[in-house]
Structure 1
Amino acid sequence: MKQNLTLLFKKIHLKDVWLIIWLTIVTIIVSNTLAVIAAKFTSLASNPSVIPDSSAHPAAEYFLNFSTDIFQLLGEEFYAIIPFLLLLQWFTHTFGWSRKKAILVAWLLSSLLFGAMHLSTYNWNLLQSLMVIGVTRLFLTYAYLKTKNIWVSYIVHLLYDSILFALPLLGL
C-alpha cells in the first residue's frame, strides 16, 4: 500500500517549487482571461465560497473556507488525476493508442469532466464550467504530468483558489 501511494505522492523538490509558482501565475492569468471572454457570452455565476456571509467577518470567513479547502482540494485532485490515469490506461491498453495520443485525449477529457463536475457550483453554466474551469484544469493537470506528483498539482490548485478567493476580501 505504501509503495502505491508513493506513485502519486512524492517529495517536492526545488524545481517543483518554481513550477508551482510559475503555474499558479499562468493559471490565474489564463482563467481570468477565459472568464472575461465567457462573460461576453453569458452571465457568470460566483462560487458560493467567495460570497461573504454578512454576519461573519470577511477575513474570518476566508480563513474558515481555507481550512476546509485544504481537504476539499485534495479530493478534487483525486477526482481529476484518477480519471486521467484511468483514461490513459484505457486508451493505451484497450485501444492500443500511442502514449502521446492517449495522454493528450485523457488530459482533455479528464479536464472537461472536472469542469462538468462544477456545473452545480456555477448554476449549471455550461460555458463557465467547461471553458473556464475545464481549461483551467488543463494547467493543474500539467503540474501532475510534469512531475508525476499529486502534491504539486494540489499546491498549485490550493494557491490558485486561495488567491482568487482572497481578491474580493482585498476589494479587487
Structure 2
Amino acid sequence: MLNNLEKTPLRPYWYLSVLFIALGVYGSLSGVLPLTWIWFIVGGALAIVTQFNFETLKVSMGKMEKGSWKIIFWSIILTFITSFATMALGNLLFHTGFVENSNAVHTGPILARIQHLVLLSISLIGEELITASVAFPLYHLLAKKMSSKQAWIIAGLISAILFGLMHLKIYHGNLYQCIVVIGLTRLPFNYAWRKTNSLWGGIIGHIIYDLVIFIPAMFIV
C-alpha cells in the first residue's frame, strides 16, 4: 500500500490534520496531559485518517512483506552507524556537546524500569505514526510533480527533521543533536516503511534500536 500512496486521494480538509499532529506532540511532550505515552499514537492515527481515510491507516499498519526482517536488521545497523558518525562529526567540526536522553535515566525497582521500557516502546509506535502523518501527505503531493523515488526522499528528509525537532526538550535545545543525530539518522526507518510496505518495518526497527541503547543504561551501567 505504501508503494501506491500517491494514488490514494487526500481528503479536502486534510490540512486539519495539523491540529491532531499538534495534539499528539503536546500531549506527549508537555507533561500537562495524562498518559503521555499514548498521545503520539492518538495524534498520528487521527492525522492519517483525516488526511486519507481509516483504510489507509489500517493498511499502512498491516502485514509486512516477506523477508522484511532483513530490511529491519540493516535499518538498525545503518542507524547506529550514521548516529555514531554524525556524533563524531559534530565533535570534530563544531565541538558539539551531546545531551543524554532522559528516558535512559530511570532508577528505582526493577519492575518500574520494565514498565518504563514498555510504555516507552508504545510511545515509539506513536512517534512513527506522527512522522508518517507528516511524510505521507508530503509524498502524495510531491509524487505528482516528480518521480516516486524523489518524492520519498524529500518527504523523508522533511519528516525526519521534524521528528528530530520534537526532541528539542529532551536534548535541551541542542539543534545539531536533534536535527542531525536524532532526526536525519532515522531515515533508514523511513526506508524500512517503504521496503517492508508497512509502518511496522520502521516501528520494530525503532523500538529495537532504542532498547539496545536504553536497556544497558538502565539495568547494567
TM-score w.r.t. structure 2 length? 0.68
Aligned to 2:43: none
Note if contact 2:65-2:197 (Cα within 8 Å) is conserved in structure 1: no
Aligned equivalents of 2:212, 2:154: Cα separation in 1: 30
When residues 82 and 8 of structure 1 are mapped into structure 2, their CA distance, relative to the original with a 3 A threshold, is same
TM-fit CA distance, 1:110: 0.9
Q: Determine whether 1:37 maps to 2:89.
A: yes
Number of paired residues?
166
User: Percent sequence identity over matched residues?
Assistant: 28
Structure 1 segments of 4+ aligned residues over 6 angstroms from their partners: none
Of 60-69 and 74-83, more deviation after overlay is shown by 60-69
Aligned equivalents of 1:126, 1:24: Cα separation in 2: 23
Note if contact 1:115-1:130 (Cα within 8 Å) is conserved in structure 2: yes
Per chain length, whose mean CA-contact separation is higher, i.e. which structure has more relative contact order (CA < 8 Å, sep 6+)? 1
Gaps of 5+ in 1: none
Aligned equivalents of 2:147, 2:54: Cα separation in 1: 30
Q: How does 1:9-28 map to 2 (within 5 A)?
A: 9-28=61-80
TM-fit CA distance, 1:14: 4.7
Note if contact 1:38-1:44 (Cα within 8 Å) is conserved in structure 2: no
Q: Which amino acid aligns with 2:137?
A: L
TM-score w.r.t. structure 1 length? 0.86
When residues 159 and 42 of structure 1 are mapped into structure 2, their CA distance, relative to the original with a 3 A threshold, is same
When residues 88 and 14 of structure 1 are mapped into structure 2, their CA distance, relative to the original with a 3 A threshold, is closer
Note if contact 1:31-1:136 (Cα within 8 Å) is conserved in structure 2: yes
Aligned equivalents of 2:64, 2:149: Cα separation in 1: 25
- 1:42-85 CA distances to partner (integer Å, 9 max, x unpaired)? 211111111133xx14x444312211012201110011112111
Note if contact 1:62-1:166 (Cα within 8 Å) is conserved in structure 2: no
Note if contact 2:65-2:196 (Cα within 8 Å) is conserved in structure 1: no
RMSD: 2.0
- 1:148-170 CA distances to partner (integer Å, 9 max, x unpaired)? 20111100000001111123233
Aligned equivalents of 1:121, 1:158: Cα separation in 2: 18
When residues 98 and 23 of structure 1 are mapped into structure 2, their CA distance, relative to the original with a 3 A threshold, is closer
Q: Which amino acid aligns with 1:101?
A: Q
TM-fit CA distance, 1:147: 1.7
Aligned equivalents of 1:141, 1:107: Cα separation in 2: 6
